[in-house]
Chains A and B, each alone.
Chain A
Amino acid sequence: MKDPITGAEALMRSLENEGVDVLFGYPGGAIMPSFDALYDHKKKLNHILVRHEQAAAHAAQGYARVSGKVGCCIVTSGPGVTNTITGIADAMMDSTPLVVIAGQVGAAFLGSDAFQEVDLVGVTQPITKWAYQIRRPEDVAWAVSRAFYIAKSGRPGPVVLDFAKNAQVGTCEYEPQHIDFIRSYVPVPEMDTDAVQVAADMINASRRPLVLVGQGVELGGAQKELVDFLEKIDAPAGCTLLGLSALASDHPLNMGMLGMHGSLASNVKTQECDLLIAVGMRFDDRITGKLSTYATQAKKIHFDIDPSEINKNVKVDLAVLGDCKETLAAVTEMVSKKSHREWIDSFAPFKEKEQKMVIDKEVYPTEGPIKMGEVVNCVTEETGNKAILVTDVGQNQMMAARYFKFTQKRSIVTSGGMGTMGFGIPAAIGATFGAPERDVCLFLGDGGMQMTIQEFGTIMEQQAPVKIILLNNNYLGNVRQWQAMFFNRRYSFTPMTNPDFEKIASAYNIPCQTVVDRKDLKDAVKKMMATKGPYLLQVAVEEEGNVLPMCEPGHDVDDMTMEFK
């Protein structure tokens, strides 16, 4: 008979068994037995102490997004875990594999409103792939294995384990588990070769195909299959925000980002193509604009792993279910080699129009205050377009998405579906652990920065090499832009009274520089990238800068505002 061990110790062994190497967390009453066990495992399980539990969840997201592994956090019951809720919901929206382990009061106290008790499974059910309460030590190995299997398989997502204190201190015999089958759960629908054949026929018959690239391509590791497919059928492609690094920015068939602040060409051509081929994306309203007029002229094929996404927002003519790594390869095999020169060339006038009306002014201005776009461009050039981009939410995010360039897969970490301000700093910390060999550049605004600014403490302690580029316009810029455009310039609570960010950074021993003049920008970026470890570059950007072009809410996707004064 094996020696019995505590449930807390079983948790540590189970995590090691799942290949976990980094945990983001924060201790507290109901999770103390597990932190006590962690003390003996800290060599293998590198625990990163954050300064607020929300950051633990976002850091785990950043880690997962760049590494492709499951992000893991460990927090206490009650307020500890309710602080992670935003991150859990964010991970659900953006299909990020996450396992959140939370302490819970002992099983005997459940339902009694005990100290720091919250009905965690009840609270998190709608925003998780799976939420489970562990009440007995002998269930730990099973629950942890099942949690990791569910989080990472199929369409990934967050899982919550609610770990009752009695199950942490109670003992059991530990037997490692390896769950890779749940009879009620089909992570990857089987590929239907008939559907693939129909898709191939539709693609062969198409004269103006347009491919929409979503994060599914990154999650499925199908970046190469995508390029093979695009090049064989010679089809132009647009990327969603989360799909931006699934296809190299400089690939000749890449027509830029889709949707609200996407490229004019990709949006206009959405309304002109005869076949829309969506791969691993979910037709978010930020992509489609007005649904009733969206690409009504085109036949549509939807490649996706999740059957509930089919026809959810946009009705399609054909669904090809399955893992896009497999389905893209299969359809590439079946289609004939094509050339769509004329169709591809028809994008050029719209690219030129956008270049002239928007990009030249935003990225290459010669006078006036510094523009957000030129800062992004300066940073991406300095990194040789090889860095990981992390963003917060708002104008900084859209500018970074528009002007940062990607040459490597899994290079963008941003809060897409939820649009979580405060995501940036912790997610960037997580990204440095998920891809320690790569540069991590974080763009954020003065608003979002202050939502999780306490994580400067984590950056300091870990010397996490995050290059923080603060685009400071002393406004909640995106809301201010909408107020200017849609609310008659009534700037209701968007002007910010900001602290001296340099002083804050120096209090945390983070080297810092502020740029006010255009002529100093390039050298400052060079200096930042050459500095080892964390760095804060504050850039005073145009106060009332706007993100353009813009497909205004409720407008047809090709109806883009190019100028706003």
Chain B
Amino acid sequence: MEQNNRTLYTILVFSENLAGLLNQITAVFTRRQVNIESLNVSASSIKGVHKYTITCYSDKETVDKITRQIEKKIDVLQANYFTDDEIFIEECGLIKISTPVMLENPQVSRYIRIHDANIVEVNPTYSIITKNGLTEDIESLYHALRDCGCVLQYVRSGRIAITKSCIEHLTEYLSEREQKYMASK
């Protein structure tokens, strides 16, 4: 994705689970006046390691500097940046719509079907739709429903991403670090 000659980069950061790290990471963006488009923090597959998925529009040079300055933080294990073709991406959208409008206008349920979305709650007042996918897919459903005049609330999650690489770099890195340290003893 491009915007004003800038690419949407996804930065994946792995860190120890210590208080205050999120602040340190976002401060690197603030100092360089780069806006964070989305941010997700969760557990990772390694015990005690947190994973940050951060997206921002930037040029390669800047995102490279940002990533290295993040990695420099003592408790950050690794930071890498990716373009969309290097990762699997997923986002989630939640849309609350008016049930009476949905019943009146057959177009509403048609859009939900076309977009392969799920209805997870129906009551006489409102219904809740969930939609997983890329930003464009979720936005497309939202815009269609909005045009039907039935949307009561809308929210979209930050991006989460997993690398397509066949090598699990972090796992290898950690075991290499431990081995080298043991060998030096």
Interface residues of A (CB under 8 A from B): 121-122, 125-126, 129-131, 133, 150, 181-186, 306-308, 310-312
Contact = CB atoms under 8 A, between A and B. Distances in A.
Nearest to A307: B68
Contacts of A186: 177
B166 interface: no
A122 B177 contact: no
Given A122-B23, A131-B20, A308-B72, A183 B177 contact: yes
Contacts of A122: 20, 23
Interface in B7-61: 15-16, 19-20, 23-24, 27, 31, 61
B23 A184 contact: no
A150 B18 CA distance: 16
B77 interface: yes
B16 A184 contact: yes
Contacts of B19: 133
Interface in B60-108: 61, 64-65, 68-69, 71-72, 74-77
B72 A125 contact: no
Interface of B: 15-16, 19-20, 23-24, 27, 31, 61, 64-65, 68-69, 71-72, 74-77, 174, 177-178, 181
Given A183-B177, A184-B16, A125 B27 contact: yes
B68 A130 contact: no
Main secondary structure of the interface of B (DSSP, over half): helix
Nearest to A130: B74
Contacts of B27: 125-126
B153 to A, nearest CB: 32
Given A125-B23, A150-B74, A308 B68 contact: yes
A121 B174 CA distance: 27
29 contacts: A121-B20, A122-B20, A125-B24, A126-B24, A126-B27, A129-B74, A130-B74, A130-B75, A131-B20, A133-B19, A150-B74, A182-B74, A182-B75, A183-B77, A183-B177, A184-B16, A184-B74, A184-B76, A184-B77, A185-B74, A185-B75, A186-B177, A306-B72, A307-B68, A307-B71, A308-B71, A311-B61, A311-B64, A311-B65
Nearest to A121: B20
B178 A308 contact: no
A23 B67 CA distance: 36
B132 to A, nearest CB: 32
Contacts of A184: 15-16, 74-77
Contact of B69 (A129, A133, A183, A308): A308
Nearest to B70: A308
A126 B24 CA distance: 7
Nearest to B68: A308
B159 to A, nearest CB: 24
Contacts of A306: 72
Shortest Cβ-Cβ A-B pairs, 6 listed: A308-B68, A184-B77, A181-B181, A130-B74, A308-B72, A185-B74
A306 B69 CA distance: 10
A150 B77 CA distance: 15
Contacts of B69: 308
Contacts of A182: 74-75
Contacts of A131: 20
A125 B20 contact: yes
A46 B140 CA distance: 69
Nearest to B28: A126
Contacts of B75: 130, 182, 184-185
A270 B24 CA distance: 37
Given A125-B20, A125-B24, A129-B74, A183 B68 contact: no
B65 A312 contact: yes
Contacts of A126: 24, 27, 31
A111 to B, nearest CB: 13
A182 B72 CA distance: 13
B65 A308 contact: yes
Given A186-B177, A307-B71, 17 more contacts: A126-B27, A126-B31, A130-B74, A131-B20, A133-B19, A150-B74, A181-B181, A182-B74, A183-B177, A185-B74, A306-B72, A307-B68, A307-B72, A308-B68, A311-B61, A311-B64, A312-B65
Nearest to A181: B181
Contacts of A310: 68
A126 B30 CA distance: 11
In this complex, the member of B27, B69, B177 whose beta carbon has the largest number of chain A beta carbons within 10 angstroms is B177
Contacts of A185: 74-75
A183 B178 contact: yes
A125 B16 CA distance: 16
Nearest to A155: B72
A150 B19 CA distance: 17
